[in-house]
Amino acid sequence: MDSTRYNRVRDLFLAADELPPGEQEEFLRRETADDVSLLEEVISLLAEHDPAAAKLEGDCAQPVAMPPSDPSSGSIALSDTFTGPLPSETFGHGRGLSDSSASDSSVSDSATKIHPRRSSSSDPGQITKQGVLRTHASPRYGKDSERSKPRSKQMPMWAERTRKSRRRASGWLWLAALLPTALVGWWTYRAVDATMQRSVEVKLSGAAENLALAADRFLVNQSDLVRSWSRQNSIRNSINELIQIARTDPDVETMRDATQIDRIADQLRELSGHDDVKFVVWNNSFRIVASWLPDRADVGNVVHPSGAANLARVMAGETVLFGPERLTQDTIGFEPETTAPVMAVIVPVEDDEGKVSAAMLIRGFSAYEKFNRMFAEFSVSAGVDAYAINNDSIMVTEGPGATSLATQGKFDIPSTEIAANLRVCDPGMELTNENRELVKRQFSPVTVAAAGAIANRPDVRTEPYANYAGIEVVGAWKWLDRWDLGIIVEESAADSFAPTRLVRFSFLLLGSLLSVTAFLAASKLARTSTAEQAAVHPLSRYDVTGELGSGGMGVVYLARHRQLDRDVALKVLRSDRHKHDDRLRFDREAKLAASLTNPHSVMIYDYGHSEQNEAYCVMQYLKGLTLQEVVARSGHQPIGRVLSIMRQVCDALSEAHAKNLLHRDIKPQNIMLSLDKSVGDWVVVFDYGLAKPLEPDADVYQTTEAIWAGTPMYMAPERFRDPGNMDPRSDIYSVGCVGYYLLAGRPPFIESDPESLFSLILSEQPIGIHIHRGEPIALEVANLISRCMAKNVDDRFASIAELGRMIDQLRIDHEWSADQAKIWWSHHGGS
């Protein structure tokens, strides 16, 4: 087909697609005159085009703000005026030829996460509907149009017959037994749940408020006590005498031998009643003039920069709480005498004129021990897990829950080092002895309670959230702004709502017993007819549990093999697609996919036709995420991971190419990624609906090839110019596009109308990957992608095997381990 013929078919398709179905054929007969083959081509395209599926995939394309055109970089700035949906399946393909909608659904058990697009338009749904400017992801007709109505889901004939038989026999039993029970159970559960919610909320908020008041009162008392000591004449006079001596700029030994230091130490021991009370005095130059150290080695040194801010507040007349924290050797001459957390109070010292002349820190009078014991006693009496945190989300008291878990070995630190050491973050999972090594607490986000407390947003949360060990809890929190401490009170969600669960379990158990009774009674009535139907149907050994998706060619169900107890994806040819060409295309997909044995290609278990004229294909049911979902969940991917994924795709395609078989629709939606505990990321390529041999067997593969087939934004340029071209290097181009998508987090080309998209793919280079990532990318990796996506096929890798060897070389410098994969899946793999 030359370009003139191609343009003619495209224009007729777009014009006819604007019309209601009843007017299309008459319009085409009038426009094509005597050209019967042209008429048949366009009608075939319209019959296979699926607007709903195209809209779903078009919505998944994420537009990105493009930089201005830069001739030096080879990038092109796309129009920023388009705000409507972006098409992924454009003219001539839709979903009809590849049936990728059904295939995508058949192998994924997680819903595609589609991010909403930002649009400068007030109404992004109102886009131009004329000519090529209308996207194929938008509605064609009014709400009452026949084609605008979604297709109804079809049940398999054998499953529908069996289900109807059982439904007639058991319907009245279900209504009589379950309906009253369900209504009473629902009402009782809602009443109990509301009561428990209020009770838990009152308990937690009261506990947090009481503990916050007690903690504040304790710290105020300790601060007032220390400040009273600083006002004692003997201590104040001794400090002011030291200040006067320091102003004469004496040598350090003179300051260290000053008798005033001994008088201060003796007086503090007498006032505090503790022989090991410790103190440090700074002058207004932040230099130490007195210290509790026996050798006074730190006298004359300047305060560490980390403590300058607190001293400045004290010099302004404030009383400042130091800690609780573990001491570090940050001053010359000072070596911490303990590894336990300490709490100190820093108070101002005034001269005879009432001006602040010095700052004095006092500790070692059991302030922290009393503070920590207060939280422990409160936890026991209130039956909660109560602890304090600082503004770095570090637990500064020995929380009883954390101490117990550390004793069980579920933290990387012993129970004696929990306080002033454990970061209160959400590990993303419930910690066990096996998975605790995977948690990097310094990089994990803080818990809901810690974030709320640090932000000074007191609250009580009865909706369960994960605590520092990944356990679901409910809690309340407050922030003591004066002391820079947060108070958190938490309780296990399972314990808090145990009565609610008991009520729910009781009614569920009662409903289950009634359901089993109704089912057994219905089964007895329908056993004879059901057995007769199942005995003659080839799919009777499968139990259909639900529909996974529907495409232009088939409907895909999730089924379970009764004898093998294995989940499978069961694809059945649609009842309205039983033409000869439809059957040949369906047969071709099954036979081509079944010929592949590589573990990175989807497996075909069974295939055939029933006596009721149903064509079916039983295939592997894959659990995981498509590459499109992977990018939607975490954006652009690490280089090592991208190379690992591309290498596994190459393994699948190497076998196919060795059998002279091209995939022709490699794209992120047709590649499934899952976690294998032994090797990490595991890739499976699926949807061989567009696969085609280089040398077709006339007896097996004769189907009408309409113009071109595939997803445009991942198709090689030569396939637009010559749709019949069968070159393995076209698959290499698509693999490069997938690599670009994973590295950049965006498809290489995005446009609103087909003509503009074709123009970009045929003549322009994609925007540099580093621009999308916002960071430099290794030159050899960028060159690998560029070579795969070369416009000229001769500039690409000669074979998929050569591409695989080049990836193996790059993976030496860009590692992606199984442990890294496990961490990613623990954070992003949940449904």
Q: Of 322, 395, 392, whose CA–CA distance to 359 is shortest?
A: 322
Q: Is 108 exposed, middle or buried (0-12, 13-18, 19+ CB in 10 A)?
A: buried
Main-chain dihedrals φ then ψ at residue 810, nearest 5 degrees: -70, -30
Instruction: Residue 264: count other Cβ atoms within 10 Å of its Cβ.
Output: 26
Tell me how far apart the alpha carbons of residues 96 and 190 are, in angstroms, rounded to a whole number. Answer: 47
The H helix count followed by the E strand count for the chain is: 25, 19
Q: Tokens in use for 390? A: 């600082």
Give the CB-side neighbour count of residue 3, counting CA atoms within 13 A. Answer: 5
Q: How distant, in Å, are the alpha carbons of 78, 133, 333, 610, 637 from that of 129?
A: 20, 7, 79, 44, 36
**Angle of helix 729-744 versus helix 779-788 axis, rounded to 10:** 140
Alpha-carbon distance values, 605 to 86, 498, 553, 591 (Å)? 36, 46, 19, 11
Q: Rounded CA gap, 569 and 546, in Å?
A: 10
Q: Which is nearest to 533 in space by CA: 778, 166, 215? A: 166
**d(C-alpha 449, C-alpha 459), whole Å:** 8
Select from 646, 654, 645, 670 the least CA-distant residue to 589.
Answer: 670
DSSP 442: T
Pull the structure tokens for residue 39.
Answer: 């008429």
Coil vs helix vs strand at 539: coil
What does the alpha-carbon distance between residue 454 and residue 396 come to, in Å, rounded to a whole number?
A: 14
If we measure between CA atoms, which residue out of 721, 789, 715, 790 comes closest to residue 89?
715
- State yes or no: is 665 an active-site residue: yes
Of 50, 139, 146, give the one whose Cα is nearest residue 101.
Answer: 50
State which H helix or E strand residue 360 sits in: strand 356-363
Cβ-in-10-Å burial (0-12, 13-18, 19+) of 189 comes to: middle
Residue 561 and residue 59 in contact, taking contact as beta carbons nearer than 8 Å: no
User: Any known ligand binding at 571?
Assistant: yes
Signed CA dihedral, 399, 463, 454, 421: sign only: positive
β-strand partners of 358: 283, 349
The closest of 102, 152, 156, 49 to 590, measured between CA atoms, is: 102
Question: What type of residue is 470?
Answer: G
Q: Read off φ and ψ for residue 459, nearest 5 degrees.
A: -160, 165
Beta strands in 565-721 (DSSP E): 566-573, 604-609, 615-620, 625-626, 661-662, 671-676, 680-685, 692-693
Under a CB-based contact definition with an 8 Å cutoff, are residues 525 and 430 in contact? no
Contact criterion met (CB below 8 Å) for 309 and 275: no
d(CA 423, CA 387) in angstroms, rounded, equals: 12
Q: Which residues contact residue 293 at a Cβ distance below 8 angstroms, ignoring those fewer than 6 apart?
A: 333, 334
- Active-site residue (options: 587, 665, 687, 753): 665
SS3 at position 233: helix
Active site (catalytic) residues:
665
Q: Which residues are annotated as a binding site for ATP?
A: 571
